A and B are shown apart, each in its own frame.
Chain A
Amino acid sequence: GAGVSQTPSNKVTEKGKYVELRCDPISGHTALYWYRQSLGQGPEFLIYFQGTGAADDSGLPNDRFFAVRPEGSVSTLKIQRTERGDSAVYLCASRSGRSGANVLTFGAGSRLTVL
């Protein structure tokens, strides 16, 4: 697509539930990133993909968080047994992956609220 698309834009869930957040990157972008942004903070790196594989998942806070990108395009961030501290805006971003093409373009984010 023309931009990075994220769904849902807002998600309210109860503590202990499972949630999935979806990201559709810019068409042709091979690199896809997930960040988490809490109020008043900068985006915090979670994981990034080159193609289908997770190139770096060092930012995932614990094993309740998992992300996939099975066909190298759309990605899903999965959070199990949600906790109130997981409440944040989850931002997805993509870049082309070509050498020298550095610009990271963000989606509008998915606001997760855990009650």
Chain B
Amino acid sequence: GENVEQHPSTLSVQEGDSAVIKCTYSDSASNYFPWYKQELGKRPQLIIDIRSNVGEKKDQRIAVTLNKTAKHFSLHITETQPEDSAVYFCAADDYNQGGKLIFGQGTELSVKP
């Protein structure tokens, strides 16, 4: 089955700097890769996702890149703000097979003003 590894587990940046979180997956059949943001005591919320037919997707300050050959994908946040502080989770599944979304262990991002 799918296994998703996420690094780093904690990340501290200065406001305005960029943050990068990386994930690897094991199942080459996976074709859908979402990223979720979870604030303390809240539910995970989708911030961006990418399908395997594209290599990069951007939404304002957030971008995700995917390398299917290497089986890794990354989240890039530019011009970080204190409100970006949260735990971020990557995930992967093969939705065409009625997939179950498998999550990474999470990255706690802290943006210092």
Contacts and interface: CB of A to CB of B under 8 A. Distances in A.
Interface of A: 31, 33, 35, 40-45, 48, 50, 55-56, 58-59, 91, 99, 102-109
B82 interface: no
B73 interface: no
Contact of B43 (A55, A58, A102, A108): A108
Contacts of B32: 102
Contacts, number: 51
A59 B96 CA distance: 20
B100 interface: yes
B98 interface: yes
Contact of B98 (A55, A107, A108, A109): A55
A58 B1 contact: yes
Given A58-B1, A103-B34, A43 B100 contact: no
A105 B105 CA distance: 19
A91 B103 CA distance: 13
26 contacts: A33-B100, A35-B103, A41-B105, A42-B89, A42-B103, A42-B105, A42-B106, A43-B89, A43-B103, A44-B103, A45-B100, A55-B98, A56-B98, A59-B100, A91-B43, A91-B44, A102-B32, A102-B34, A102-B49, A102-B51, A103-B34, A104-B46, A106-B43, A106-B44, A108-B43, A109-B43
